Amino acid sequence: MFVLSTRSLSTRFGFVNSAIATTLTQRNFSDGRTLYQNNFTNSIREVSNVIKRRFEDGKMARIAKPAPNWEAKAVVGGDVKTLSLKDFASKYLVMVFYPLDFTFVCPTELIAFSDRVQEFRDINTEVVGISCDSHHAHIAWDKIPKNQGGLGGIKIPLIADLKKEITRRYGCLFEETGHPFRGTFIIDDKGTLRVAHINDTEIGRSVDETLRLVKAIQFANVHGEVCPANWKSGDRTIIPDPKKSKEYFAQLKDDK
């Protein structure tokens, strides 16, 4: 007979809650052995489902795939709240990873996004900043005036990824230093990751370019056409068809 104990389940699948294993019905036989009854198969299926969910939760971010879910404490308008990716369902989301609070390029970026956050919200988009600092550090930094290197009352949420789980999942962790690179990820209103840009720590980002990318994604989603290089709202787009695309290319001038 095959005997599976609670301990063996916990040992072999350390991330499976041991409570699952204890749900297996036991029957004591005259010889003192403990065997599991007919619901063994159902219980193993339950264990398998937990394992599957864990692997799905821990998956790495990939373009054109569902964005990995996350949940963490965040500073929102000076208050501490728990936010998750699910809170932004049916919206576009720009995730702005940055290295550290109380640094140099970081406040310039976060303030730039904060100052123009209404432009994002006008197109059904939210922006969040993410670092591996604690929410206490976020609050302290936000209270410092802008002219002293602080954020001075930022208008976007700051996620506290203290365990670095989100940063790792999105491929942004600078392992040698333990803090994020400057990563910009755009998730569409269906929860699909559409843009993943990662800059080295010394290189600040452009709010204009981020807005342009969101608008380009939205245009492509609605119209089914593709946006050429340097496209901005109102510019011509391309019908992704070998014949119909010639209408766009016909306007281009050949270099002489």
Could you tell me the pLDDT band of residue 175, with boundaries at 50, 70 and 90?
A: very high
When pLDDT is cut at 50, 70 and 90, the band that residue 16 belongs to is very low
DSSP 150-176: S-SS-SS-EEE-TT-HHHHHTT-EETT
User: Which residue among the candidates 106, 132, 172, 227 is catalytic per the annotation?
Assistant: 106
Q: Indicate yes or no: pTM above 0.95.
A: no
Question: What residues have CB less than 8 Å from 140, skipping those under 6 apart?
Answer: 101
Structure confidence at residue 11 (pLDDT): 42
pLDDT of residue 24: 40
pLDDT, one tens digit per residue, over 97-151 is: 999 999 999 999 999 999 999 999 999 999 999 999 999 999 999 999 999 999 9
106 flagged as catalytic: yes
**pLDDT-derived band at 39, boundaries 50, 70, 90:** low
Q: How confident is the model at residue 230 (pLDDT cuts 50, 70, 90)?
A: very high
Residues 193/62, Cβ–Cβ less than 8 Å: yes
Q: Which of 155, 187, 164 is nearest to 100 (CA)?
A: 164
Render pLDDT for 45-100 as a digit per residue (tens, 0 to 9).
776 665 555 555 558 999 999 999 999 999 999 999 999 999 999 999 999 999 99
pLDDT digits (tens, 9 = 90+) for 176-217: 999 999 999 999 999 999 999 999 999 999 999 999 999 999
Give residues with Cβ within 8 angstroms of 158, minimum separation 6.
74, 75, 110, 128, 129, 130, 131, 135, 138, 142
| pLDDT of 43 | 66
Mean pLDDT score across all residues of the chain? 86
CATH classification (class only), 65-204: alpha beta
Residue type, 85: L
